[in-house]
Amino acid sequence: MKFINENPVLRVASILVCFLAGVILVFTGWKQTGDLGGLIQMLIGVAVLLLALAIYNEPYSDKRKNKK
């Protein structure tokens, strides 16, 4: 993920794409209430939203290594 951290435009674009895709997947899966496909679609949407959150938090993560 070092490449994404060095390119802020790519980072913002990937966060935006993941966020929009995740929200769309969750809402379209929500419309299929009672169907197993809708549940799977919502779970994939939540996973994509978590990916967007991970991309957002990557520059702020603790990079400490075992230094001896």
The yes-or-no verdict on residue 65 having pLDDT over 80 is: no
Q: How high is the pLDDT of residue 7?
A: 82
Q: Report helix angle 8-30 to 36-57, nearest 10.
A: 160
Whole-number pLDDT of residue 62: 73
Residue 67 pLDDT exceeds 60? no
Digit-coded pLDDT (tens) for 7-54: 888 889 999 999 999 999 999 999 998 889 889 999 999 999 999 999
Q: Tell me how far CA of residue 23 lies from CA of 5, 11, 46, 61, 65, in angstroms.
A: 24, 18, 8, 25, 35
Q: Is the pLDDT of residue 68 over 60?
A: no
